[in-house]
Structure formats: structure tokens, C-alpha cells
Amino acid sequence: MNAPHLPVLLQEVRRVFVPLARGTLVDGTLGYAGHSHALLADHPHLRLIGIDRDQEALDFSRKRLEAFAERTTLIRGDFASVVAGMSPDDFQGLLADFGVSSLQLDKRERGFSFESETLDMRMDTRSALTAHTVVNTYSHGELTRIFADYGEIRSAEKLADRIITARTQHPIDTARQLSALAREHFPTRGKIHPATLMFQAIRIEVNDELGQIDALLDALERLRPSGAVIALITFHSLEDRRVKQRFKRWTRSCVCDPLAPRCTCGNDHHLGTLPARKPIIASRDEQRSNPRSRSAKLRTFVFKEAHHEA
Ligand SMILES: C[S@@+](CC[C@H](N)C(=O)[O-])C[C@H]1O[C@@H](n2cnc3c(N)ncnc32)[C@H](O)[C@@H]1O
């Protein structure tokens, strides 16, 4: 079965989950099951809970994982609420490979690509907010905020001005029109499309991508699944910063005020360990053969074993 998406850092993810011979793995971003398929094949006793917001991805993966159907449960939903509804013993590993898949980007009707004839960008086509609504109804202040915060665009305010001027004359109905505005606004630099950061910002807003990551981390912090291995793959600094800071906080053993003269907290507050301080990145070969992998960073965290009272 030809997958429409190449999984990034596949060998590295397989290595991270070597200890997961038994138990249940949650794949929070199942996509086209590239990672899940390999992990189910590696571990004949592993069970999988695969989550995706995108029905097309789930339909594809259901077929791809047919040989493992007895060990597989697929759920349509967002990973933050599905994981928040679980109990700590429900899983022993969790993988998330954030962002959009190549298929979502390439299918013009999904409205993620620069040349799309629609303006949609929803991963879950049941949700109410589309890119069309953001671009055509958000206030100047709201547009400036998302361009500045989610696209880290320095000229966010001017870009918002340009959009408001354009849409006052005629609604902006397609991604292609939006790309044309970006071309007028940004000087072309190298091979990167001038609309890249603007599209990233709108996509993050439409899918609440950063809110989802924060809520997933909140759920894990609350659940503290005993001994569980967590592997998260991020694609830009806004995502990576969140994961990095939260994992670091989870390793802190002493939670006293840094100005306190001595530790009074018991110095036993760490939730687990970081197997590596630095993120794992793609090899040169992978970066050459899969351009998406160039910005991928894999960070892992291992929750400590809970000692149940006898
Ligand atoms: C980069 S792809 C994952 C690819 C997958 N690892 C593979 O090997 O085929 C990301 C997938 O996660 C889904 N996704 C992104 N954010 C999500 C969320 N908050 N909840 C559920 N699914 C999400 C997207 O719909 C997309 O299918």
C-alpha cells in the first residue's frame, strides 16, 4: 500500500519505543500510520490506540493496519481531549508527530496549499472555524495577533492592513488570492514561498494547534502514566519551545522558591527523566530524501514508575 506521507525520523522513533514490547501505545497523530505500522510490526504484542481528527487519514490507516486490526483501536478526535479522557494505566507509550500531513498539504481542496481554490485549512472538516472565516472576518487586532504570535512575522500589522484593504473591495475566497497578497507584501527570499509564515499562522489558528499541544502536555502532567515513554515530534520553534520547557519542568525535583535558603519541599517532585537533553534530528540522508524532515525535532520523556501502596 503506497502511503501518501513519508513518516519522519522513523528509525529514531522505533529505537525510542524498543522497551515497549507489551502494553499500549497511543499514536495521537495517526496520519497515514507510517510510524504505527512499523511499531506494530516491531512488537507483536503491542496494542495501538490511533487518534486523528482527519477522517480521510483514518480511513486510509484502517486499511493499512488491517493485518493488526485485533490489536488496534482507531478514534476520530483531537488528541488533547482523547488523552485527557484516559486513565494513567490505559497506555505505556505516546507518540505525536505534530502538524499537517503531506496529503493534507497536497490535496488542493483541503485549502492548505498556496494554490488552492478554496480557503479552508481544517484538519477536522466538522469544525466550524475555517481559514475563510479567519481571513474575511477577524478584526485588524486579531489578524495582527495571529501573524505576530503564530507566524512570528515582524510586519504583522502592515500585513493585517493589506488583508483588510483587499477584503473590503472583494472577499478573499481562495488560498491562491491570499498567496498573491503575500507575494505583494513580502520580498522573495531564497526558495521559501513568501506566504509560508502567513499560512502557518492561519493554520495554527484554525486548528488551535498550539492549544492542542499545551492541553496534551497538561493531560500528561495530570495523568503521570507510570513508566510511560513519551515521544513528540515538532516542526517549528513555537511547538518545540513548549515541549522543551514542559519536559524540563517535569525533571525538576525541587520546587522551592529559588530564593529560599534551603530546600523544604522534600526534593522529590520530578515526574521522570529526559533520556537526552538535545532533540533528535533527521540524518543527512533523510533530510535529503524528505524535505519535511529538515525541521523535525524529536524529544522524549520517560515518566517514573509509580509505587503503588500495598
Ligand atoms: C504529520 S501527520 C502524522 C503522520 C503519521 N505519523 C504517519 O506516519 O503517517 C499529522 C497528522 O496528525 C493529525 N493531527 C494534527 N493535530 C491533531 C490533533 N490535535 N488531534 C488529532 N489529530 C491531529 C493530522 O490530521 C495529520 O493526519
CA angle 133/135/137 to nearest 5° reads: 55
Superfamily name and number for 108-207: Putative methyltransferase TM0872, insert domain (1.10.150.170)
Domain residue spans of the chain: 10-97+209-303, 108-207
Tell me whether domains 10-97+209-303 and 108-207 share a fold: no
State the distance from the centre of ligand 1 to the C-alpha of 49, rounded, in angstroms: 13
Q: Which atom of ligand 1 is nearest to the CA of 5?
A: 9
pLDDT at 181: 92
Please tell me the distance from the alpha carbon of residue 94 to that of residue 132, in angstroms, as a whole number: 33
**Which of 122-136, 263-277, 280-294 comes out lowest in average pLDDT?**
263-277
Q: Which atom of ligand 1 is nearest to the CA of 103?
A: 27
- pLDDT exceeds 90 at position 112: no
Between the alpha carbon of residue 99 and those of residues 138, 201, 204, 295, the distances in Å are: 23, 12, 9, 12
Look at ligand 1, atom 14, and give the residue with the nearest C-alpha: 29
Q: Pocket residues for ligand 1 (CB within 6 Å)?
A: 5, 7, 29, 31-35, 51-54, 57, 78-79, 97, 99-101, 123, 212
Residue 243 sits at φ, ψ, to 5 deg, of -65, -45
Task: Using pLDDT thresholds of 50, 70 and 90, give the confidence band for residue 187.
Answer: confident
Reported as a single tens digit per residue, the pLDDT across 239-260 is 999 999 999 999 998 888 888 8
pLDDT at 22: 84
Reported as a single tens digit per residue, the pLDDT across 143-161 is 999 999 999 999 999 999 9
Please tell me the distance from the alpha carbon of residue 238 to that of residue 169, in angstroms, as a whole number: 34
Residue 84 CB: number of other CB atoms within 10 A? 15
pLDDT at 111: 82
DSSP letter string, 88-104: GGG-SEEEEE-S--HHH
pLDDT at 273: 95
State the distance from the centre of ligand 1 to the C-alpha of 62, rounded, in angstroms: 14
Task: Using pLDDT thresholds of 50, 70 and 90, give the confidence band for residue 104.
Answer: confident
Kindly state the DSSP code that residue 166 receives in the 8-state scheme: H
Closest CA to 53 of 81, 72, 90: 81
- pLDDT exceeds 80 at position 192: no
Please tell me the distance from the alpha carbon of residue 34 to that of residue 64, in angstroms, as a whole number: 9
Q: Which atom of ligand 1 is nearest to the CA of 30?
A: 5
CATH no., domain 10-97+209-303: 3.40.50.150
